[in-house]
A and B are shown apart, each in its own frame.
Chain A
């Protein structure tokens, strides 16, 4: 029995289409609509007003949290890049045996399979006042009493989030470096260019799309994170997601939370589309 092509197309297409409309398109639309509603304790009422958005700009705590979140996410991306680039470069250009290269690549990607929550938790046990780092420093005589400076601040946030998300920086940079034809570097050496000149004029420009992809990925993941702040951030390390979660929990102001989520969504989408545009630009230039 052969189905007419139109019916077949309909059968393939309808389950994902229905799902995407029902559980993605509709909820995002509702989120948008909800951000204009008003809170009427203990629930909320339909309305169309900009009050929630005005509130976000009037109360400085929201803007401060937003700026802090962007700062932490940017630092996470920068530190991930500083660690990931040399590592990927080492794998592609310095490790000769493919087996070892694959093993070292997997060694960086593998932690992604280990629970994110537990990887963040480990840093809490290491950095805490009674934690492993403090007791270690006391037992070696570096400190005389436990120091609270390691945990519950932005440094702990950047450290933990860099640790958690660094594989997302290594993967695209590795992919970009691997694609560079060795002949280009041979030609460059033959023409008398030094190593650093070859790096800055050939390797780096050709791998920049990987850097941008990794930057986008780590930034967006860190920007949206709301687990690390509860574990290692403390009040000083609260992220925009934590404020949203509070609006949907204790504060019970869903419309304001929706407005915040929408601001977050717009920022993430702007970064993704900018990165996409850059990538397409890059492909046009180097392909």
Chain B
């Protein structure tokens, strides 16, 4: 029941006065107006970003002059950009795999094991969620410098995996908490080894959470700047390349990159919504 039902519900015999109906309609349109304003605030800039990638002029100003696909043609020919995209894909894939490989056992340990220093461990793992990326970036920069480790895409991967650990742990931990321990106990009673239980009982049950965390980590890594800024050597990731281009000047080519990223994001959002829908089904089933 919504608030509207509550506030407008009265004895059924009472005739609704027209003044009350008018008030109800006004109330409704005021709320729709507020929501539309916020959505406009969120989406007009994105629409502007995409629209100007098709604009037939170098300058980003009003009115728009005409339609062109030239900026996309330029993108396709820009070798530095293509290398940057490849670097970003490499970093995002490696960082995501690494952070899943560490994050899933970390979530398991936090949920199922007790060990000395668990409180400190939990705090450290979850810290990067609220910690400014710059602190992770510079503290690892100092570490690598002191041990004489040269900066490269690999140091970026280590940085990303560390910063994203918190994302994976929170998502997987939340799912594990909802998973009854009895399943794993049954598996052990029936003679399965720890590894068998993990791969045949636990993992299938947390699969969508792990995949969701993986997609989110991938997106965040692909977009990451503060940690990358301090930990990269000569190689540029895509955001770093875009950033260095931006600082030289604004061109509709950046808008074209933006439009491609918006399209890719929509695809990823669609996939993750599908995943969420799938995870909702077993939850309702188990209740019935």
Given A116-B223, A241-B132: A94 touches B139 (CB 8 Å cut-off): no
Within 8 A of A (CB), among B1-36: 1-4, 6-7, 28, 31, 34-35
- Candidates A8, A94, A223; contact of B3 at CB < 8 Å: A94
The answer on a CB contact under 8 Å between B46 and A111 is: yes
B134 touches A163 (CB 8 A): no
Distance of B53 from chain A, by nearest CB (Å): 11
Report chain B residues within 8 Å CB of A185: 3, 6
* Given known A115-B261, A117-B225, A132-B48, contact A30–B6 (CB-CB < 8 A): no
Binds B, one of A13-21, A48-56, A204-212, A279-287: A13-21
For residue B199, CB closer than 8 A to chain A, the reply is no
Give residues of chain B (219-266) contacting chain A, Cβ–Cβ below 8 Å.
Answer: 219, 223, 225-226, 229-230, 239, 242-243, 246-247, 250, 254-255, 257-258, 261-262, 265-266
Contact partners of A123 in chain B: CB under 8 A = 45
Query: Is the pair B6, A189 in contact by a Cβ cutoff of 8 Å?
Result: yes
Bound-complex Cα distance A86 to B34 (A) = 8
Q: Whole-angstrom distance from the CB of B130 to the nearest CB of chain A?
A: 5
**Closest CB in chain B relative to A186 CB, distance in Å:** 5
Q: How many residues of A contact B (CB 8 A)?
A: 87
Q: Is the interface of B mostly helix, strand, loop or mixed?
A: helix
Q: Is A104 an interface residue (CB 8 A)?
A: yes
Q: Is B143's CB under 8 angstroms from A30's CB? A: yes
Residue A131, interface by CB 8 Å: yes
Interface residues on B, range: 35 or more
Contact A132:B131 (CB < 8 A) given known A94-B3, A114-B261, A124-B250: no
Is the beta-carbon distance between B42 and A111 smaller than 8 angstroms? yes
- B32 to chain A minimum Cβ distance, whole angstroms, is 8
A31-B131 contact in complex given A15-B105, A111-B42, A117-B239, C-beta closer than 8 Å? no
Q: Does A24 contact B (CB under 8 A)?
A: yes
Are B31 and A230 in touch, CB under 8 angstroms? no
**Is B52 close to A, CB under 8 A?**
yes
Report the Cα distance A104→B34, complex, angstroms.
13
Contact of A224 among B6, B127, B134 (CB under 8 A): B134
1/0 per residue, CB under 8 A from B, across A118-158: the answer is: 11011111101011101110010000000000000000000
Verify B49–A23 contact, CB threshold 8 A: no
A188 CB, nearest partner CB in chain B, Å: 9
Q: Given A108-B42, A126-B45, is A34 in contact with B131 using a C-beta cutoff of 8 Å?
A: no
Report A-chain residues with C-beta under 8 Å of the C-beta of B52. Answer: 125, 132
Question: Which chain A residue has the least Cβ–Cβ distance from B140?
Answer: A27
> Whose C-beta in chain A lies nearest to the C-beta of B246?
A121
Assembly CA distance A3 to B188 (angstroms) = 12
List B contacts of A116 (CB < 8 A). 223, 225
Cα A244 to Cα B41 with chains together (Å): 32
Assess whether A248 is in contact with B34, with CB atoms less than 8 Å apart. no
Q: Which residue of A lies closest to B158 (CB)?
A: A23
Which A residues are CB-close (under 8 A) to B130?
A: 216-217, 220, 268, 272
* Cα of A135 to Cα of B59 in the assembled complex, Å: 11
How far in angstroms is the closest Cβ of chain A from B12?
Answer: 16
> Which residues of chain B have C-beta atoms less than 8 A from A261's C-beta?
134-135, 138-139
Q: Are B134 and A87 in contact (CB under 8 A)?
A: no
Contact among A1, A15, A19, A268 with B132 in the assembled complex (CB-CB below 8 Å): A268
Q: Mask for A25-45, Cβ within 8 A of B = 1, else 0?
A: 111101100100000000000
Contact of A2 among B63, B139, B194 (CB under 8 A): B194
Residues of A within 8 A of B179 (CB): none
> CB-CB < 8 A to B106: which residues of A?
16, 20
A110 to B261, CA, bound (A): 13
A20 to B134, CA, bound (A): 18
A116 and B222 alpha carbons, distance in the complex (Å): 11
The 8 residue pairs across chains A and B that have the minimum distance between CB atoms: A224-B132, A16-B106, A27-B139, A135-B61, A93-B3, A136-B62, A135-B62, A113-B265
Listed A/B pairs (21) with beta-carbon separation below 8 Å: A24-B162, A28-B139, A30-B143, A34-B142, A93-B3, A94-B4, A94-B31, A95-B2, A96-B2, A104-B39, A110-B266, A113-B219, A113-B265, A114-B262, A121-B246, A132-B60, A163-B41, A163-B42, A220-B130, A230-B247, A268-B130
Binding site for B on A (CB under 8 A): 1-3, 8-9, 12-13, 15-17, 19-20, 23-28, 30-31, 34, 83, 86-87, 90-91, 93-96, 104, 106-108, 110-111, 113-119, 121-126, 128, 130-132, 134-136, 139, 163, 166, 182, 185-186, 189, 195, 216-217, 220-221, 223-227, 230-231, 241, 244-245, 248, 254, 257-258, 261, 264-265, 268, 272
Given A27-B139, A117-B239, 17 other A-B residues pairs in contact with their CB atoms under 8 A: A2-B194, A13-B115, A23-B143, A27-B136, A27-B142, A30-B143, A83-B38, A110-B266, A115-B261, A117-B225, A121-B250, A122-B258, A185-B3, A221-B132, A224-B132, A245-B134, A261-B135
